[in-house]
Structure 1
Amino acid sequence: MTLIENNKNRKLFFLNTVSSSLVIMVHEDNYVFLPYFGSKIEASDIDYIIDGITEANYMADTDNKKKFQLELIPQIYPSYGYTDLKEPAFHFVHKDGSRITDLRYKSHNIYKTKKKLNGLPTVLSNDDSEVLELTLFDELKKVEVIITLAVFEKHNAFTKSVKVINKNPSDDLYIEKIMSANIDIQESNFELIHLAGAWARECHIKRRRLEQGMQSIGSIRGASGHGQNPFAALISPNTDENNGEVFAMNFVYSGNFIISAEADMHLNTRFQMGINDFDFGWTLMPNEEFQTPEAVLIYTNKGLGDMSRTFHKLYQDCLMSNKYAYKERPILINSWESNYFDFNKESLLKLAEEGKNIGAELFVLDDGWFGKRNDDKTSLGDWTPNEQKLGGSLSSLIDDVNKKGISFGLWVEPEMVSPDSDLFRKHPEWAIQVKGRKIETSRHQYVLDLSNPEVCDYIINFMTELLSKNNITYIKWDMNRNITNLGSSYLKPERQKEQAHRYMLGLYRVLDNIVNAFPNVLFESCAGGGGRCDAGMLYYMPQVWTSDDTDAIERLVIQYGASLVYPSISLACHISDIPNHQTRRKERIETRANVAMWGNLGLELNLNKISEEDKKVITQKLEIYKSIRSTVQFGSIYRLKGLNAQNEYAWMHKSIDEETIVVNYVQICVIPNLVTKRLRLEALDSKSKYKVNDSEKLYTGSELMNIGLMLGEILEDAFAIQWIIKKVN
Structure 2
Amino acid sequence: MSILFDENKKLFTLETAHASYQMFVNAYGFLQHLHFGEKLGGGSCEGLQGTGFMSFSPAPDVAGNDYLASPDLTQQEYPVFGSGDYRSHCMAVTFADGGRNPELCYQSHRILTEKPVLEGLPGLHGSCETLEITLRDRWTDLQVVLLYSVFDQYDAIARSARIVNHTGAPVEINAALTACLDFPESGFDLLHFWGRHAMERLVERTPLTHGKICVDSVRGTSSHQQNPFVIVCDHAATEDAGRCWGVSLLYSGNFTACAEVDQAACCRVTMGINPTGFSWHLENGESFQTPEAALVYSGEGLGALSRRYHKLYRRNLCRGEWALKQRPVLINNWEATYFDFDDEKLVSIAKTAADLGVEMLVVDDGWFGNRFDDNRALGDWVVNTEKVRGGMKSLCDRINALGMKLGLWFEPEMISEDSELYRAHPDWCLHVPGRGKSRSRNQLVLDMSRKEVRDHIHDMMHAVLSSANFSYVKWDMNRHLTDVWSAELPAGRQGEVYHRFVLGVYELLERLETEFPHILFEGCSGGGGRFDAGMLYYHPQIWCSDNTDAVERLEIQYGTSFGYPISAVGSHVSACPNHQTGRTTPFHTRGVVAMSGTFGYELDLNKISEEEKEQVRAQVKQYHRLYSLINDGDYYRLLDMTQQKDLSAWEFAAEDGSRALLNIVYAHVRANCPPPMLYLRGLTPDACYRVTDDTGRELGVWTGAVLMYAGMRAPIPQEARAYGQTDYAAFQFELERLS
Q: TM-score per shorter chain, which class? A: over 0.9
Matched residue, 2:442? 444
| Residues in 1 aligned to 2:349 and 2:384: alpha-carbon distance in whole angstroms | 19
Equivalent pair of 2:159/2:294 in contact (CA under 8 Å): yes
For residues 430 and 703 of structure 1, do their structure 2 counterparts lie closer, same or farther at Cα, with a shift above 3 Å needed? same
Q: Indicate the RMSD between aligned Cα atoms, in angstroms.
A: 1.5
**1:84 is the counterpart of 2:94:** no
Question: Are 2:662 and 1:663 aligned?
Answer: yes
Partner of 1:248: 246
Q: CA deviation at 1:60?
A: 6.7
**35-44 or 517-526, which deviates more:** 35-44
Which residue is equivalent to 2:721? none
Measure the CA separation in 2 of the matches of 1:212 and 1:164.
31
Q: 1:42 to 1:708 in 2, by over 3 A?
A: closer
**3-state SS, counterpart of residue 434 of structure 1:** coil
Residue in 1 that maps onto 2:451: 453
Q: For residues 378-417 of structure 1, what are the structure 2 equivalents within 5 Å?
A: 378-417=376-415
The two structures have a TM-score, normalised by structure 1, of 0.97
For residue 718 of structure 1, give the secondary structure of its aligned residue in structure 2.
coil
Residue 697 of structure 1, CA deviation: 3.2
Displacement of 1:434 after TM fit?
A: 0.3
Task: Tell me the secondary structure at the aligned position of residue 687 of structure 1.
Answer: coil
Instruction: Quote the residue 1:266 is aligned against.
Output: 264
Q: Deviations over 1:78-135 (max 9, x none)?
A: 122233221221100111111111110000011111011010001011x2x1111110
Q: Distance in 2 between matches of 1:475 and 1:3?
A: 44
Matches within 5 A, 1:64-213: 64-66=64-66, 67-125=68-126, 127=127, 129-169=128-168, 171-213=169-211
In the alignment, is residue 361 of structure 1 matched against residue 362 of structure 2? no
Q: TM-score, normalised by structure 2?
A: 0.96
Gaps of 5+ in 1: none
Aligned residue type for 2:706: E
**1:51-101: CA deviation from partner (whole Å, max 9, x where unpaired):** x64222553766324443321110101122233221221100111111111
Alignment CA distance shift 1:218-1:446 (3 Å): same
**Match of 2:707?**
704
1:591-638 Cα shifts (integer Å, max 9, x gaps): 111011111111001111111121112221221111101111111100
* Alpha-carbon distance in structure 2 between the residues aligned to 1:246 and 1:105: 29
Q: Secondary structure at the match of 1:394?
A: helix
Within 1, Cα distance between the matches of 2:85 and 2:440?
A: 44
The one-letter code of the counterpart of 1:22 is Y
Kept in 2, the 8 Å contact 1:651–1:663? The answer is: yes
Contact 1:146 1:162 in 2 (8 A): yes
CA 1:249/1:675 → structure 2, altered by over 3 Å: closer, same or farther?
Answer: closer
* Amino acid in the other structure paired with 2:533: A
C-alpha distance in structure 1 between counterparts of 2:299 and 2:74, whole Å: 23
Q: State whether structure 2 residue 22 is matched by structure 1 residue 12.
A: no
Equivalent-residue separation in structure 1 for 2:164 and 2:194 (angstroms) = 35
Question: Which residue does the alignment assign to 2:461?
Answer: 463
2:598 maps to 600
Q: More deviation in 506-515 or 639-648?
A: 639-648
What does residue range 302-313 of structure 1 map to in structure 2 within 5 Å? 302-313=300-311
Change in 2 beyond 3 A, CA 1:280/1:270? same
How many residues are treated as equivalent by the alignment?
723
- Is contact 2:3-2:131 (8 Å) kept? no
Number of the residue aligned with 2:45: 46
Gap change, CA 1:54 and 1:497, over 3 Å in 2: same
8 Å CA contact 2:392–2:467 kept in 1: the answer is no
Residues 648, 666 of structure 1: 8 Å contact kept: yes
Contact persistence 1:2–1:43 (CA under 8 A): no
Are residues 1:500 and 2:498 paired?
yes
**Measured at CA, do residues 350 and 184 of structure 1 come closer, stay the same or move farther in structure 2, by a change above 3 Å?**
same
Preserved CA contact (<8 Å) 1:4 1:45 = no
Cα distance, 1:298 vs. partner?
1.1
| Residue 729 of structure 2: aligned partner | 719
Asked whether 1:631 is paired with 2:632, we answer no
Whole-angstrom CA distance in 2 between matches of 1:82 and 1:692: 62
Shift of 1:659: 2.1
Query: Contact 1:134/1:147 (CA < 8 Å) preserved in 2?
Result: yes
Structure 2 unmatched ranges of 5 or more: 719-725
> Which amino acid is 2:715 matched to?
G
Task: Report the alpha carbon displacement of residue 451 of structure 1 after superposing the two structures with TM.
Answer: 0.7
Question: CA 1:387 to 1:2, structure 2 compared with 1: closer, same or farther past 3 Å?
Answer: closer
Is this contact kept in 1: 2:197–2:225, CA < 8 A?
Answer: yes
Contact 2:160 2:292 in 1 (8 A): yes
CA distance in 2, matches of 1:646, 1:427: 51
Give how far 1:677 is off.
4.9
Matched residue, 1:532: 530
TM-aligned CA deviation for residue 191 of structure 1: 0.8
SS in 2 for 1:24: strand
SS at match of 1:71: coil
Partner of 1:683: 682
Partner of 2:337: 339
488-497 vs 15-24, which moves further: 488-497
Question: 1:4: how far off?
Answer: 4.5
Q: Name the SS for the 1:279 alignment partner.
A: coil
Partner SS for 1:41 = coil
For the 8 Å contact 1:6–1:45, the answer to whether it is kept is no
Q: Would you say the 8 A contact 1:312–1:565 is kept in 2?
A: yes
**1:74–1:186 contact (8 Å) kept in structure 2:** yes
Tell whether the 8 Å contact from 2:58 to 2:84 is kept in structure 1 after alignment.
no
Aligned-partner SS, 1:183 = strand
| Selected match of 2:426 from 425, 428, 431 | 428
676 and 86 in structure 1: CA distance in 2 versus 1, 3 angstrom threshold: closer
State the secondary structure of the residue aligned to 2:248. Answer: strand
- 270, 273, 297: which is aligned to 1:275? 273
Q: Distance in 2 between matches of 1:152 and 1:65?
A: 41
- Residue 298 (structure 2) pairs with residue 300 (structure 1): yes
Distance 2:195 2:712 in 1: 33
